[in-house]
Structure 1
């Protein structure tokens, strides 16, 4: 088997963009610092993901949320609900299975690049409208991705549970 890295799966990329938005809103870090954290983390396991591939869609999502009139949920809640939805559900296909019975797992990677900044922004907007309409589930109260079993999340668990110092991001 080749040791060549694969592209990041689309749902993992979208989770990391959602976490970039969440961390920017919730923590006292700049968007570029948070983007760099997740792009470096993804690049350890997959083909390199540039910092702008995290920051640009996160900025577009933040702009979209700031333009909403009378939002039903806070920005950090929407980002957290999006992360939960992308982790637990595979769109219209139903619940996501991270581990396969016979072959690999959902976090293995893709041979072709399936994610894009435009697509994640579009998916976030669609999720937000579905959330407002009540057609998608919200995350349980108090849920964060860090509350998931790190072993079940495999390399994604390593990334989200990794404590990054400001020195690493400068």
Structure 2
């Protein structure tokens, strides 16, 4: 069996965005949601600890709660961020699978970190507010996207009560 690679940064950021959204719309604790995504990532990539998801998610939730005159509801902002991270690599369109590269493959070295993810979310929030990025279409859900492979399994994993006993 081959050695697992590190989770790609955009998948880590997507999971943080989904953790924020799920915490806001589902009746689950942040720890439960964080553990769910950490376990899901760890099935396909090198181990990601629950705190690596929970800590930036909590910081983002704090940031969202301190906004003045928000243009979007908190869960909408999180979903728009997930859309942007999935569809775009910076300002250019993200190519999940190309001729020579598969973005879902993983990285040999760890590229993601929680501080960078929080900064990315804040920067996206301000850019979206000023109209620099497009928002997710109404009703968009990453789980309904095609050809997600590992990412599909990660985003579709629902927390089980057995995971928390």
User: Taking structure 2 as the reference length, what is the TM-score of the superposition?
Assistant: 0.97
Paired residue for 1:4? 3
Paired residue for 1:60? 59
Corresponding residue SS for 1:153:
coil
Paired residue for 1:163? 158
Paired residue for 2:93? 95
Which runs of 5 or more residues in structure 1 are unaligned? Answer: none
Residue pairs, 1:60-79, within 5 angstroms = 60-79=59-78
CA-atom RMSD, angstroms? 1.0
C-alpha distance in 1, partners of 2:159/2:150? 16
Q: CA deviation at 1:104?
A: 4.1
> Which digits, 9 at most, give the CA deviation of each residue in 1:110-164, with x for residues without a partner?
0110100000000000000001000001000010111212xx1110101112233
Aligned residues: 165
> Which digits, 9 at most, give the CA deviation of each residue in 1:85-122, with x for residues without a partner?
00000003x00000121x34100000110100000000
The 4+ residue runs of structure 1 with deviation greater than 2 A are none
